[in-house]
Each structure stands twice: as structure tokens, then as C-alpha cells.
Amino acid sequence: MTPQEEINQLTDKLNNLNFQYYQNSISEVTDFEFDRLLVQLQDLENRHPNFVREDSPTHRVGGTISKEFESVTHKYPMLSLGNTYNAKDLADFDERVRKGLGGADYEYICELKFDGVALSMWYEKGTLSRGITRGDGVRGDDITANVKTIRTIPLNIQAKNMPIRFEVRGEGFMPLTTFDALNKEREDIGEQLLANPRNAASGTFKMQDSGVVAKRKMDCYIYQFLSDEEIFSTHEESLLRLKEMGFNVSQTWEKCKSMDEVLAFINQWDKKRFSLPLNTDGIVIKLNSFAQREILGFTAKSPRWAISYKYQSESVSTLLESVSYQVGRTGNITPVANLKPVLLAGTTVKRASIHNANEIIRLDLHVGDYVFVEKGGEIIPKITSVDFEKRTDKLDNIQFPTTCPECGTSLVRKDGEANHYCPNESGCPPQIKGKIEHFIQRKALNIDNIGTETIEMFYRKGLVKNPADLYDLKRENLFDLDGFKEKSIQNILMGVEKSKEIPFKQVLFGIGIRFVGATVAEKLAIYFNDIDNISKATLEELLQVPEIGGRIAQSVVEYFQKVENQEFIARLKAAGLQLTHNAVEIVMEGNTLAGKTFVISGTFQNFERDDLKMKIEANGGKVLSGISGKLNYLIAGSEAGPSKLEKAQKMNVSIISEDDFLKML
């Protein structure tokens, strides 16, 4: 079998497995087997890139870097809908429809209005060719690489009697489970929490690295079909056919033959919508017949045949009984409002996040106030305002603490940051225990059989005061502890030993540097290759890493300057953990660059830095870490380091552009 035939066979097989899993809920193979086939295909595509198909399932894992998004004019403008919040406006809309259609019979399709990001997808000859954001409704951004990572969007359609070119539209969204996990990680690394899933989805779809987008497991509900040919006569018919073709059409829509039925649908979903995997903020009501839509037409901004009913955000007033302060793993101090329990959006709310000291001042909060609490688009209930009509005269201002509520250390608040934090990393109990919990989690060292209660016991008994202490545990340390049997002791020690095989990127994440999440840790591991290079990196060198900003770079520099952290890393080294990145094997392309040495600085149009390094090595060249008399070329991209450029000029090193490099090949 030729490589092209192998690639075609694997592509078709994996696409069919995806279709069965996401459309029919059938798992024909295990996750392990699916991943094995995907790796096999990716390896073939790396060796034979000219045979990669547009609908290859390897696009799902991302990896494409977009330096900028091309602006695209929509063939059919993506108009907004008129909004209403009451039944009278709906009755008026219905009357306008009735008059516009001259009294003819008509029916509506009611759909939930999902709170996400409107996306446009174009298919040519059955293959997904473009994914575009709504933008301003006239022009949007081409985010095709990111759209392809959404596993429920088919990369290829096998459907009869379809136009050569057609468009589908849908609502891209971040599932609530993903949003919760993302905020948990942000809280864990000391980042400010994302406000709501819609903003998180919008930011994710505009990321330059599609590999990061893929890891967030975005989703999309399709709700519209468009083409130059008249394929369907009703919206109902199009939804049924789209579902049949393999698109992810939410089965929450309903056909209504009167405004009374529309109102019943609205009432039905008023509470039921909270059980869905994403947020909704209303109902969209559309005429079913496409011919009747043509009759009614459009205004300058919106169609006359559709309207959006928006649910009022449910808000309740309750007593703010007290404010407590939580200390996170990175020392962040988070104020939490303790409320008189109240029913909100189907759940009993007892606590609400206040985020930081600025928010206390902005809301003018006092203990004893009655406050309005909402969920709306938020996962965590939030206080929106004070019920000033119920405020009494003798309420004290809330004073944000100046010392840590756990260890008494003076709190720090850096310029430009909203949060206060406790700097006592090695002596503050919640930080110490939090660091150990962070270190052993699945995305880090993945040490099984150690939970929060076990960590609490280890800490209380003085066995583990630092994650490195885990590697000093012996059977005799654990044997006398309450509840520990031979089997549980064996499992813990085995889990600790197995963690020595965990890849460097996960170890780096587990180390727990402030602002360094799993994605940033992976980028640092790949870029610098080992822990020593990262520990010696200057602020300027760290800023050269893609998507590493000043706050992260400064945090990394400060971390490795501390003696206790240097000692911690030394203990991990001595324990035998993986502190070097195992680079991908280079497939040689030629020897054009043999004997030539290069240093890379800045960002590039056609290459991610790691890809450029591999390209140099694949053609016989060598990449050096710094500028010296032995260097032949400095490849300078945009935002190249000024000190590197200056040093190269002084040493008469040739400074070349990305285009110059490509010409050398």
C-alpha cells in the first residue's frame, strides 16, 4: 500500500469513528486505540505532507499558529435580531407578521438562544473550507484552524443533492464543565478568574495557537443552512437534514403554530434551561416557511421574520452575613461573601465570590447589607449591587485584611494587580498544602491514592512540608498512621515512584510557579528544553517565548532567584524526576545548512520558533543558545531582542530575515 493510500484509509476510518462517537454516541474502539491510530496517521502525514487531506482528523488536535487573522467579507450578512423581554412585544411582533403575510397561515420554529459566539462555516464539495467569526456582521475573522478543532463540526460531509458550496451557521461555545476546569486552573496558578463562559469562548476562538484551542474542547450547535440554491422549503426541514448530515443540532427546538404555543415554550424553558451543558439567555422565534420569510424581508439591521425573547437574569435579595478570606496555593487572598441561604436559578446559594478588594469598594459593601445576587451568565453566583433601601445606619465598612488570615504575614499587592497575596510560600499552611495538592494532580505528577485528607495528615504529622518530601517517604513512615494498611501504603509509594516517569512539561506545571499553567509550562519546556535553561533565562529571553507576557516572565525570574526554590529543584533532580524535554526526532530533509550555526530571536510569519529550530536541524544546521564568535547567523523576526541584535552587530554576525533564511534552503 502506498503512503497516500495509507493516509486516505486512516483518515476515512478515523473520521467515521468520530462520526459514530459524536453523532450516534457509539464507541467502536477504545480511546487508547483511537489515539494510537491518530498518532499513526500524524506520523505518516509528517513524512508525506503533500498527501495530507483537508478533512484529516489530525486538524482536531490543532498546532497551527496564526500570527494574524485574515478579515473576510460574509457572502450573506450575519444580522442581529430585535430583542424583547415581555409577552406584549411578542404579540406585537406576531401581529406584524400576520399583517405582512396578508392573513395567510404560518408557523414558528422556537430555538434556545445559546450564549456563545456566532460562527460561519463554509463547505466546498463536502469539505470544510473556512470557519469565520461573526465580526461586525459584514466582515469577520478567518479562524479556520481553530474551528477545525471542534470535534462536533464535521470536516467532511457525505450527503447527496447538496450544493457544491454552502454555508452553515452555529453558536460556538465553551461547555460549562470546561469553563469550571479552566477557572479552577486559573485560580490554582494565581490568575484572575474568567467572568463567564461566553467571554471565555470568544477569547479562545481568537487564540493564535490552535493547539491550545483544541485542549479546551470547544463545541458548537448548528442552527442555519445557507446557499444560492433553494434546497429546503422550511426551517424545520433544514434542521432535520442538517442533523442527518452529521451536524450537531441541538434537539431543544420546537415547531409552534400560534403565539400561545410560543409562550408555552418560553415558560417551559425558563427553569429547564439551567440543566443544559451551556448557558442560554433567551429564545429565538423564527418563521418556519422560507417563502414567507422572503415576503417579509429585512430592515437595515435585522430580519422582519424573527425576534429574540430575552429572559430576565434572575436576581434575589439576601443578607450579607459576613465576609471570609480564602488563601490559595499561590497566596492569593479571595474574599467570599457568606449569605443567608436563598434559592436562585434552581439551587440554594449560600456564598458568592467578591473577587478582590476593588470590588468591595466598587459595590460599597457592608456586613449586614441586603445584596442582590445573580447567576445569569455566571457559574459562580455574584453580588451585583446593594439593596440600599434596606440599609441601616450602623453598618461598618468591610476592611480588607492587611495580614494573612492563616499565618499573619503582611499581605502584598503589586502595581497593576487587583489581588492581594501572602508572600510566605514556605510557612503559610494553606499554601504549603495547596502546593502539594497541585503537585500530585492528574495534569501534573499524577500521583494516585493521595487525597486532600491524606495530605492534611502528612502535613500534620510533619512527614510532608514540601512536595519534594514525597520522595523521601518510606514504608515505616506510613505504617503507624491511622487507616493505612499494607495495600494502601504500597499504592502510595508506587504512585510516587511512577511519577518519576512523568514528562518534563507536567513536572514544570506541578512545580507551581505563579501564573504558569499547563499550557505555559509546555511552551517553556519545549522552548528551553530543560529546567537549568529556564532557571538561567533572563526576562528578555523569557519574553521571546510565544504567548509569554511580562507578568509570567517576571514571575519565573523571581521564582528561580529564591534559594528555597533552587533547593527544591535540586531535591527533585536528586529524586530522579524528568527535568529535560524529550524533543521530537528530526527527519532529515537535506544538508544545505551543514556546518552553519544559527540563533533565533523574535516571532515569525511562517514558523513557530520550535518549528524553525527543527527546520534548521532537518537541513543539517545547528541552533545555538547564545551569540558568540562561533555563530554564523542570527535569524531576526519581528520583536527580536535588542541586546541580541546589538551583540550580533558588534561580533559581525550576519543578521538575516525569515525570507533570507527560506532563500538559503
SS3 per-residue string spanning 219-288: EEEEEEEECCCCCCCEHHHHHHHHHHCCCCCCCCCEEECCHHHHHHHHHHHHHHHHHCCCCEEEEEEEEC
The whole-angstrom distance between residue 619's C-alpha and the CA centroid of its chain comes to 35
CA distance 3 to 14: 16
Euclidean distance between CA atoms 117 and 318, whole angstroms: 33
Distance of CA 268 to the CA centre of its chain: 32
Give the CA-trace dihedral at 565, 570, 573, 578, to 10 degrees.
Answer: 20
**How many whole angstroms separate alpha carbon 156 and alpha carbon 125?**
9
Single-letter code of the amino acid located at 558: E
DSSP bridge partners of 133: 119
Give the C-alpha separation, 46 to 64, whole Å.
Answer: 14
Q: Is the dihedral of CA 438, 440, 442, 444 positive or negative?
A: positive
At a CB cut-off of 8 Å and minimum separation 6, what does 234 contact? 288, 289, 290
Strand, helix or coil for residue 107: coil
Q: Of 298, 305, 312, which is closest to residue 377 (Cα–Cα)?
A: 312
Alpha carbon 141 to its chain's center: 19
- Cα 361–chain centre separation: 31
- Which residue's C-alpha cell is 464539495? 125
Q: How far is CA 646 from CA 602, 636, 640, in A?
A: 14, 12, 11
Active centre residues (catalytic): 113
